[in-house]
Amino acid sequence: MAVQSIFADLLQEYMTGVVLAQYEKVNGSKDAPNYLHETLLTPEYSVDMTYNSISGGFTRVTADVISFDSPLPIKSRASIKSAGGEIPKMGMKFTLNEKQMNTLRILRNTPGRKKELARKVFQDSESGIFGIKEKIEQALLLGISSGVTLIQDSENVGTAVRVNYQIPEGNQFGVTTNWSDPASEPLNDIKRVLKQARASGEYPNSIWMNSDAANNLFGNDQLKGQFAFNQNFVGASVPTMDEDQLKAVFLRNLKLNLIVVDRSFVHEKDGKRTVSEGWTKDMVVLTTGTNLGSLVYSTLAEEEFPVQSVQYTKANDYILVSKWGSTDPVSEATGVQAIVFPVLQNVESIFYINSEEATASLDAQTEGDAVYTYDGTNYTKASVVSGINAADETAPATVSQKDATLAKKIDSLSEAGITKFEAELVASV
């Protein structure tokens, strides 16, 4: 049962000011992480604790030139769709045990140690604020890097969370050669996706990847050659690039701002700690800007129905900090909770490249015959050619082209293109 904290006088004097200062520290300290959700998302209050990720065909079309006294021509509205659900609650609690309480008792009875006492009493609230911000950041990065936010129950005390933002299949692509191969051609892969984006009226200006994907590109032959050309490099061997040099190549040659995400998260469940990566493996993402969605939040029940003897204060619009005491044994508890979640909006303007998804080239082929092996099954080469052309995303395929050429065309297709391609396949008898 919650009882009034034995530090009630201290909480009354310091709690609001200290918690607000802790939140500012979490978001602005040079030692704190740079939280992307603070800059990429717009806060949005939800009355009914639900969210909607709105997307649709928002392509701008030109106005028509018409004669005077003529009626205005009718244009079609954007088709709007949404993915929605309930905003999950997140939170954590810390408890000061009897031994720790004795230490605080000594400080409380020692003259001149009031500030040190306050620092120790409020230490857990800062950890809780960090915990909420870390979970939001993890959910955001997983959402950006895959289009699906999945919080495993192995990382979470409570229920697992899965939010699918319904990225269009036409916005998801593979590569012709895995980028871990120095002979791959990332610039060509990205230009192909940019071309598809422009065809739908979208103009990406930012490219996101994690440090592993960036490391693969530092020694890439095509990118090194382009960097050397840009710099008028003289020499027989171009050295491996660094991150700043890679950014310069993307900006100059593709008009894309490179953002490298290098982030991991620590979880604790049943007293055991695990670490997970924040970015989906191998995924490269193109966006049309850095305003990617909403940080949707709502009101906690305890804000409307506060528990007697518990002292509360808000760290910001959505994080509630509470402190209370208990007896048998004597202890002091700190709770930090929020109803909040990041939600991507206008997902039709986000494009994905799986930098290690050149799978068609893995199938063994016999050049010169009328059979093509795809995903372990033999199909007529003519139907494979028809499938590639039905997707209408590459230069036309012909039966006279080598199997290796067809493989690169297949690997370059979007997920939507793959669906059209597979619909044309005819098994070889």
* Rounded Cα gap, residues 424 and 159, in angstroms: 42
* Rounded Cα gap, residues 319 and 49, in angstroms: 15
Query: Considering the domain boundaries, does residue 319 fall inside one?
Result: no
Query: Considering the domain boundaries, does residue 258 fall inside one?
Result: no
Quickly state the pLDDT bin for 425 (edges 50, 70, 90).
Answer: very high
Angle between helices 123-146 and 8-28 (to 10 degrees): 30
Query: Considering the domain boundaries, does residue 406 fall inside one?
Result: yes
**pLDDT confidence of residue 381:** 95
Query: Considering the domain boundaries, does residue 393 fall inside one?
Result: yes
Q: What is the pLDDT of residues 324-343, one digit of tens each?
A: 888 777 788 888 999 999 98
Query: Considering the domain boundaries, does residue 181 fall inside one?
Result: no
Domains identified in the chain, total number: 1
Helix (H) or strand (E) holding 426: none
Tell me which residue range forms the domain holding 377.
359-423
> What is the residue type of 269?
K
Query: Considering the domain boundaries, does residue 168 fall inside one?
Result: no
Neighbours of 377 (CB within 10 A): 11
**Does the predicted TM-score (pTM) go above 0.95?**
no
For residue 426, pLDDT beyond 70: yes
Q: What is the pLDDT of residues 140-166, one digit of tens each?
A: 999 999 998 876 655 555 566 778 888
Q: What is the pLDDT of residues 371-419, one digit of tens each?
A: 999 998 999 999 999 999 999 999 999 999 999 999 999 999 999 999 9
Mean of pLDDT over the chain: 85
For residue 105, pLDDT beyond 60: yes
* Rounded Cα gap, residues 383 and 317, in angstroms: 58
**pLDDT confidence of residue 166:** 86
Tokens of 260: 């490298």
Neighbours of 68 (CB within 10 A): 4
Q: Cis omega (within 30 of 0) on the bond before 329? A: yes
**pLDDT confidence of residue 72:** 53
SS3 call for 69: coil
* Rounded Cα gap, residues 285 and 144, in angstroms: 8
C-beta separation of 288 from 349 below 8 A? yes
Residues shown for the chain = 429
Cα–Cα–Cα angle for 156, 158, 161, rounded to 5 degrees: 70
**pLDDT confidence of residue 163:** 82
**pLDDT confidence of residue 65:** 55
Tokens of 282: 């191998």
Query: Considering the domain boundaries, does residue 396 fall inside one?
Result: yes
Query: Considering the domain boundaries, does residue 376 fall inside one?
Result: yes
**pLDDT confidence of residue 185:** 95
